Structure 1
Amino acid sequence: MKRIAVFCGASSGNDPIYIQEAKRLGKTLAVHGIELVYGGATVGCMGAVANGVLESGGKAIGVIPEKLANIEIAHEHLTELHIVKNMHERKAMMADLADGFIALPGGAGTLEEWFEVFTWAQIGYHAKPCGLLNVNNYYTPLLSLFDHMIGEGFVRKEYKDLIVMNEDPATLVEQFVKHKGKVENRWER
């Protein structure tokens, strides 16, 4: 695994653990020689994960839309920074660059970015792992929602099984390193 895209917020959250664990994830990626692909900002969880990588001697690649370069404050010390036209270009570039995807706690943008690549995995567009770093049990309610969707017949259980989740950054990265995805057309029976 050469690169992992991390989706996360430009906010820090209300508990310092979110920034601590974002930085810890960055350090873990660097220790494993895995490059970070992320939203390109210097603030919030985005800045923390990038700083964790860079402080540990790793490589961080940012992808930020023109409109957000000033709002989210583009990180000036990255290995590479790509400024793109819009969010569609950002997501496409991040997906192309990455060998897997992790969502840290974040808001609607984080969820939207992660759900897009997760949906692509469901329908067989890629076999890259899609993970959630469950800091402070942030994503536990999401797993309950998946159980509800499965129970109501809108999601197959095997789709939930595609989610790689852990509360520990090091363990989650190890799960990604060991991941052996298989592209298959899950729509044909």
Structure 2
Amino acid sequence: MKRLAVYCGSATPADPVYIEAARAVGHALATRGIGVVYGGGRLGLMGAVADAALAAGGEVIGIIPQALVDAEVAHRGCTELRVVSGMHERKALFTDLSDGFVTLPGGVGTMDELWEAISWAQLGYHEKPVGVLNVGGFYDGLIAFNAHMIEVGFIRPQHAGIMIADRDLDALLDRMAAYEPHDTIFKMTAAQL
């Protein structure tokens, strides 16, 4: 993996565990020689990931909509800052520029990015690993819900391993590096669906 898209919140929660985890991710990716592709913001977990990766000598590509540049939240210290027209273009570039996705805690935007990465993998728009770093149990409910969707049958057995979740960053990155692509919907016949 040469680059990973990092999805995370632009907020700074009161509990420092989230900012510390974001810094750890930025630092770990840089020391492993993996570039960061992220939302281009300077605030919250986003800014912490970027700052830590840059401080460790890593490549950081920010992708940010013009409206957020106008709101003065862009991180001007990125290796490269790409300004796009909107969220659809932003998410497409995340996919095009990265070899996988790591999701840290975040809000609605983070969830949108995570589920789109999973959905696109399921369909076959990409065959890249989708990781979830379960910081302090933040994603316990989401992981349980994903398991429930598998159990009920809304996620096919061959797609059950798309979301790779772990509480340990090194273990998560190792599991992502070892990810084997699954049969995508685009490669399946109607009888297999």
Post-superposition CA distance 1:77-115 (Å, at most 9, x none): 110000101111111111100100111100010010111
- Provide the residue aligned with 1:170 in structure 2: 170
The letter for the 2-side match of 1:101 is F
Cα distance in 1, alignment partners of residues 2 and 136 from structure 2? 28
Query: Gaps (5+ residues) in structure 1?
Result: none
Q: 1:150–1:157: 8 Å Cα contact kept in structure 2?
A: yes
- C-alpha change, 1:107 and 1:23, in structure 2 (3 Å) is same
* Aligned counterpart, 1:15: 15
CA contact (8 A) 2:158 2:183 kept: no
Distance 2:171 2:51 in 1: 20
Q: Structure 1 stretch 107-116 or stretch 138-147: which is displaced more?
A: 138-147
Q: Give the superposition deviation at 1:179.
A: 2.4
Give the TM-score taking structure 2 as reference length. 0.91
Q: 1:149 — aligned with what?
A: 149
Per-residue deviation at 1:187? 4.2
Is contact 1:34-1:58 (8 Å) kept? yes
Aligned equivalents of 2:142, 2:10: Cα separation in 1:
21
Between the aligned partners of 2:188 and 2:120, the Cα distance in structure 1 is 12
CA distance in 1, matches of 2:89, 2:124: 21
Does the 8 A contact of 2:8 with 2:105 survive in 1? yes
Superposed, 1:57-96 pairs within 5 Å as 57-71=57-71, 73-96=73-96
Contact 1:131 1:163 in 2 (8 A): yes
Post-superposition shift, 1:173? 1.6
Structure-2 separation of matches of 1:153 and 1:128? 23
Distance 2:70 2:169 in 1: 29
TM-score normalised by length of structure 1: 0.93
Q: Which residue of 2 aligns with 1:51?
A: 51
User: 1 CA distance for matches of 2:69 and 2:32?
Assistant: 29
> Which runs of 5 or more structure 2 residues have no equivalent in the other structure?
none
Q: Which runs of at least 4 in structure 1 moved beyond 4 Å after TM superposition? A: none
Distance 1:107 1:72 in 2: 20
Alpha-carbon shift at residue 53 of structure 1 (Å): 0.5
Task: Compute the displacement of 1:117 (Å).
Answer: 1.2
SS of residue paired to 2:51: helix
What do you get for the CA RMSD once the two structures are aligned? 1.6
1:138 alignment partner in structure 2? 138
1:122 maps to which residue?
A: 122
User: 1:4 is paired with a residue of what secondary structure?
Assistant: strand
Aligned length: 189
Alpha-carbon distance in structure 1 between the residues aligned to 2:33 and 2:46: 19
Q: How far is 1:183 from its partner?
A: 5.7
Partner of 1:97: 97
